[in-house]
Amino acid sequence: NAGVMQNPRHLVRRRGQEARLRCSPMKGHSHVYWYRQLPEEGLKFMVYLQKENIIDESGMPKERFSAEFPKEGPSILRIQQVVRGDSAAYFCASSPPGTGPNEKLFFGSGTQLSVL
Partner 1 sequence: AQTVTQSQPEMSVQEAETVTLSCTYDTSENNYYLFWYKQPPSRQMILVIRQEAYKQQNATENRFSVNFQKAAKSFSLKISDSQLGDTAMYFCALDDKIIFGKGTRLHILP
> DSSP of 2-19, one letter per residue?
---EEE-SEEEE-TT--E
Helix (H) / strand (E) element for 31: namely strand 31-37
**Which residue(s) pair with 94 in the sheet?**
32, 106
* 1 lies in the site for partner 1, by CB under 8 A: no
Q: How far is the CB of 91 from partner 1 (least distance, A)?
A: 7
Q: How far is the CB of 72 from partner 1 (least distance, A)?
A: 26
Site string for partner 1, 2-31 (x = CB under 8 A): ------------------------------
Choose between 11 and 45: whose C-beta lies nearer to partner 1.
45
What is the distance between the alpha carbons of residues 86 and 90, in angstroms, rounded to a whole number? 10
53 and 75 in contact (C-beta within 8 Å)?
no
**Which residues make up the interface to partner 1 (CB under 8 A)?**
33, 35, 40-45, 48, 56, 58-59, 89, 91, 93, 100-102, 104-105, 107-110
